[in-house]
Structure 1
Amino acid sequence: MPVKSLYLLFLLYFVPFNISAQFSDSTHYSVNYATTGSINKTNDGNTYLLNNAAKFGIKKKAFNLNFSNTWVYGKQDRQLTNNDFSSALDFNLYSSLPHFFYWGLANYNTSKSLMINNQLLAGAGVAYSIYDRKNVYVNISDGVLFDSSDLMLADGVQDVYQTYRNSLRLVFKVTIKEFIVINNSTFFQPSLKKWEDYNFRSDSGLSFKVSKWLSLTTALNYNRVSRTDRENLLFTYGLSFEKFF
């Protein structure tokens, strides 16, 4: 790839964009798009990584629904390292009990770095907000997922299987003086048949608000699939833009 093209890709993918919309007091809609990336060119070789994410959400008093898609693509010395796509539809149904709600999820994944040819996760469960204030939010949830996967094992053998998984998630978000935002979502999903067969994921973010619509952001994402004995670690940084209308 020519050097000028690499610089152009860097400019296009380094900056994430986040656009949100609110339509009424009772119903809120949001559309978010983020794209980040990095390029490293030396005498010994070239490395670049592109990370894209899009999300649409609907929120009402009784429920909220989100549809999100992410794509990570990367090469090192012309060898493909990442071609990871994930699409998820999730919803929360709020009950009359304070801080308690039900959740549902359908998630499709394919990942070069984790050796996932195809994976479908679907299930439901319950969640409880341990602490729910304007500046601090802590939530824990648990449930059962059905996992139908087509994987590639370390020895090159294709592994097609189905299992049920327990899905445990811990979420927290801290806002400091409406200027600094720290958040994390961590999932642990072991098979109900075999505890050593698990999926683990942790997504962390840190943002500094520069103005009402502009923030400096960093994110750290870690994934591990024990069945393929594969993991990836992705660190991104850039700018986020937020617009309400």
Structure 2
Amino acid sequence: MNYTATGIVNKTNDGRSYVLNNNLRFSISKKRISANSSALWIYGKQNESRTNNDIIAALDFNIYERRQPARFYTWGLASYESSFSLKINARVQTGLGIGYNIVDRPNVVFIVSDGILYEHSDLYQTPEGIDNDYETARNSFRIKFRWVIKNRVTIDGSDFLQHALNDRKDYIVKSNTNVSVKLLRWLSFTTSLVYNKISLTNRENLLLNYGLTIEKYF
């Protein structure tokens, strides 16, 4: 179980702003299967005007092949997202695909995966002529990495590119990179860089957070 709380508050004579980021994750890992769930809430204001109210909830699983080391695996995903900053009322994605562990060592992991997602979205605003409430199928390509340095510093992240199968101009970009320095066995100082872009609404956000992470292993 992993909980991260980060944020920033800025107050001057000319105004004030703040962004708070809360992220809760729970993972189970066995030899042939792993499951991960996460819930993210980002809220922000600038001079009493709301800039962020973003909620993301996701559940995914991986099923690995029997032979060891297991290079190939099958993945499944279900997610829900609502984002004020990206102008999304609601978006649901479900899908399946395959992945390959290019590097799988105790301290270094590098994975690529690809698959097909079904998406139903309700958007705040879209260019003229495009329905705000629509369905589509997407190709989802992901790069995932993790590097542990002397059991003290961890660098990890994942990057997604999701193109609609019927329109190459309709795409989603997601990038999340974290650097964590262990202070205690259960406590770490964490910095994260998050970037999102949606071509249909022509919206993007970039968040640089720093704060504390609490981890508990059972």
User: Which band: TM-score by shorter chain?
Assistant: over 0.9
Which deviations, in whole Å up to 9, do the C-alpha atoms of 1:166-207 show, x marking residues without a partner?
A: 000001111111121111200000000011100000000111
Give the equivalent residue in structure 1 for 2:158.
185
Separation in 2 of the partners of 1:66 and 1:48? 29
Match of 1:220 among 181, 189, 193: 193
Q: How far did 1:158 drift?
A: 6.3
Match of 2:30 among 60, 73, 77: 60
String of CA shifts for 1:9-40, please: whole Å, max 9, x gaps.
xxxxxxxxxxxxxxxxxxxxxx2222211110
Query: Matched residues in 1 for 2:29 and 2:151: separation?
Result: 22
Find the counterpart in structure 2 of residue 93 from structure 1: 63
1:47-86 deviations in Å (ceiling 9; x for gaps):
0111111122222222111221101000000001100001
* Corresponding residue of 1:81: 51
The superposition leaves residues 118-142 of structure 1 with CA deviations (integer Å, 9 ceiling, x where unpaired) of 1010000000000000111000000
2: CA distance, partners of 1:49 / 1:158:
31
Q: C-alpha distance in 1, partners of 2:30/2:72?
A: 16
Between the aligned partners of 2:54 and 2:131, the Cα distance in structure 1 is 18
Unpaired runs of at least 5, structure 2: none
| Count of equivalent residues | 215
3-state SS of 2:106 partner: coil
For residue 142 of structure 2, the aligned residue among 154, 161, 169 is 169
CA contact (8 A) 1:45 1:77 kept: yes
Q: Which whole-Å CA distance do the structure 2 matches of 1:193 and 1:154 have between them?
A: 17
Q: How far, CA to CA, are the matches of 2:28 and 2:82 in structure 1? A: 26
Alignment partner of 2:85: what SS? coil
Instruction: Tell which deviates more after alignment, 68-77 or 57-66.
Output: 57-66
TM-score after normalising by structure 1: 0.84
The CA deviation at 1:41 is: 0.5
Task: Kindly report which structure 2 residues correspond to 1:40-51, keeping only aligned pairs within 5 A, or say none.
Answer: 40-51=10-21
Mapping for residues 1-245 of structure 1, pairs under 5 Å: 31-97=1-67, 98-153=70-125, 159-245=132-218
Distance 1:35 1:130 in 2: 32
RMSD (CA atoms): 1.6
- Report how far residue 243 of structure 1 moved: 3.6
* Off by >6 Å, runs of 4+ in structure 1: 155-158
Contact 2:153 2:182 in 1 (8 A): yes
What amino acid maps onto 2:122 in structure 1? Answer: D
Normalised TM-score (structure 2)? 0.94
Larger strand proportion of the pair: 2
| Structure 2 CA distance for partners of 1:244 and 1:144, relative to 1, 3 Å | closer
More helix by share: 1
TM superposition shift of 1:154 = 5.4
- Preserved CA contact (<8 Å) 1:152 1:158: no
Distance in 2 of aligned mates of 1:155 and 1:164: 19
- For structure 1, the residue ranges without an aligned partner over 5 or more in a row are 1-30
Distance 2:177 2:4 in 1: 15
